[in-house]
Structure 1
Amino acid sequence: MTDHWIVRLACAAAMMLASSLAGAAEGGATLQAGNDLGDRASLQRGAQLYMNYCSGCHALKYLRYSRMGQDLGLSEEEVMTNLNFTGVPIGEPVPVTLPKAQAEKWFGKMPPDLSLISRVRGSDWIYTYLKSFYLDPSRPLGWNNRLFPNASMPNPLWEMQGLQHAVHGKPESPGADAPVTGLTIEQPGNVSAAEYDQNVRDITNFLEYAGEPAALKRQKLGVWVILFLALLTFLAYLLKKEYWKDVH
């Protein structure tokens, strides 16, 4: 009897989960980033894009320039010339260049540090967020975000993406705001849609790396661990055969 109830509860939970996922998809679920930490070229491009478009407002206080250069295969000169725009020593973490007073004046508060954003939100969320900005005259800075409504920041990548507008559906009740049902590019940016998607994916990849730099080394060590376990299994098999060969 107990087993039947467990099965029923499991089925009900599965149905509820499927229903919630379907509802999320209808309401604009997150897109699949499809990034790859093993793609060093993507990480290098993502680091460059982040430093050029994001580091002015967002710090990476848990990632040092020296560690980034080491992990991404960049020399000290390349890091200091192409990625370090603040002038701090290479052994220091990535700071923010935006003064606190100006941040509070423009955004109402200091933009958050993004060192752990991928571990808090997930890579798919970051990828979708960077593709979900649209023009909204009602907002103080003229921008809104479908994934994160009423976000305080403008679209830092608008020149690449172009000017995106919201497609509104029918209000649920009289006087209510019309829901955003889609997004459309009305003025193309200076790169193609495919190139923009790749740029966003590169930034997402870099932020996932920044959230846990040790993940790169763990992946490299993982191959050797698997080989060691395979060798150990083979030796254990030989030992077992030797031990039991005289037992009938």
Structure 2
Amino acid sequence: MIKKIIMAAGLLFGATTGWAAGGDVHLEHMSPDMKDTVSLQNGLRTYMDYCAGCHSLGYARYNRVARDLDIPEDIFMENIVFAEDAKFGDLMKFAMSAENGKAWFGSAPPDLTMVTRVRGVDWVYSYLLGFYKDETRPYGVNNAVFKDVGMPHVLMDLQGLCSSAPHPAEDAKIDPLTGESIHSDACAGYSVEGELTSHEYEEVVYNLVNFLNYMGEPYQMDRKRIGLYVFAFLAVFFFVSLLLQKELFKDIKH
């Protein structure tokens, strides 16, 4: 079933003008952390505030996400779920209709449940950092990772808008006077100023992509936890087997 979903997502992403790949580009690296519950919660909050208006997470259910992210049902339903008629066990289908999506954007915005499994976390992370001003485009923006992107920069209030295509950020340097890390901004300049610093915005994007990585395979949290129990059982079983072997063969003379 999962393989069929991934294949369908791949076909969808290949067909839509809003998510087509664009050439050989530099991708920023990010390392997801499924143990960072606060990051996952913040990523969920950002998704619901900025992405849920267009993109569903139709292969996930509210109650599963709330359980995995340690959010009580009453808090989750009051602060995360916007639809008044939604139930705790419903699928997370809350976006615009396909008809409206085609009318407004030229194609229906895709479901993002599997986006990190289809594209990879580095691609999604770099994509969200890659918007810049381009007045030749319908929404006035383009993307360094995805040329001629067909969607607006929905996080522009937070990041601002780069006046030109962002370049790969340099490795952090150390201030010789304070000993603190000097963060390098990938944008040479901004045509629109955002609410956050570049470092703060990158943290928002990290949390969002971290959450989307969880959405792509929520069972990895269970798998890793169960794996620890399996290894513990095997260790105990091996120790007991050694004791049993010694007991069985102690009277056998070589």
* TM-score calculated relative to the size of structure 2: 0.76
Correspondence 1:39 to 2:36: yes
Aligned to 1:190: 195
> Which residue of structure 2 aligns with residue 15 of structure 1?
none
Question: What pairs up with 1:194-233 in 2 under 5 angstroms?
Answer: 194-233=199-238
Contact 2:60 2:91 in 1 (8 A): yes
Greater shift in the superposed pair: 118-127 or 230-239: 230-239
Deviation at 1:144, TM superposition (A): 1.1
SS in 2 for 1:226: helix
Within 2, Cα distance between the matches of 1:168 and 1:69? Answer: 36
Which of 96, 101, 110 pairs up with 1:98? 96
Q: CA deviation at 1:168?
A: 9.5
Once the two structures are TM-superposed, the CA of residue 68 in structure 1 deviates from its matched residue by 1.0
**Counterparts of 2:131 and 2:238, CA distance in 1:** 53
* Alignment match, 1:120: 118
Q: 1:150 aligns with which of 148, 151, 171?
A: 148
Deviations 1:163-182 (A, max 9, x none): 1132599xxxxxxxxxxxx7
Partner of 2:160: 162
- The 8 Å contact of residues 162 and 188 in structure 1, kept in 2 or not, is answered as yes
Question: Deviations for 1:151-196, whole angstroms, at most 9, x for unmatched residues?
Answer: 2111111111111132599xxxxxxxxxxxx743424410122211
2:159 is aligned with what amino acid? Answer: Q
**TM-superposed deviation, 1:131:** 0.5
Aligned to 2:71: 74
Q: State the TM-score, normalized to the length of structure 1.
A: 0.78
Q: Is the 8 A contact 2:30 2:122 kept in 1?
A: yes
Contact 1:53/1:157 (<8 A) preserved: yes
Counterpart-to-counterpart distance in 2, 1:46 and 1:203: 4
State the match for 2:128 in structure 1: 130
1:114-138 superposed Cα distances (whole Å, 9 cap, x missing partner): 0111111111111111111111111
The RMSD of aligned alpha carbons is: 2.0
Match of 1:20 in 2: none
Question: Is the Cα contact below 8 Å between 1:162 and 1:185 reproduced in 2?
Answer: no
* SS, match of residue 70 in structure 1: helix
Q: State the Cα deviation string for residues 8-38 of structure 1 (Å, max 9, x = none).
A: xxxxxxxxxxxxxxxxxxx642111122011
Secondary structure at the counterpart of residue 139 of structure 2: coil
Alpha-carbon distance in structure 2 between the residues aligned to 1:204 and 1:247: 63
Q: Give the whole-Å Cα distance in 2 for the aligned partners of 1:110 and 1:75.
A: 33
> Does 2:45 match 1:48?
yes
Give the helix-richer structure, 1 or 2: 1
Q: Please give the alpha-carbon distance, in whole angstroms, between the structure 1 residues aligned to 2:28 and 2:253.
A: 59
Distance in 1 (CA, whole Å) between partners of 2:38 and 2:107 is: 34
Residue 183 of structure 2 is matched in structure 1 by none
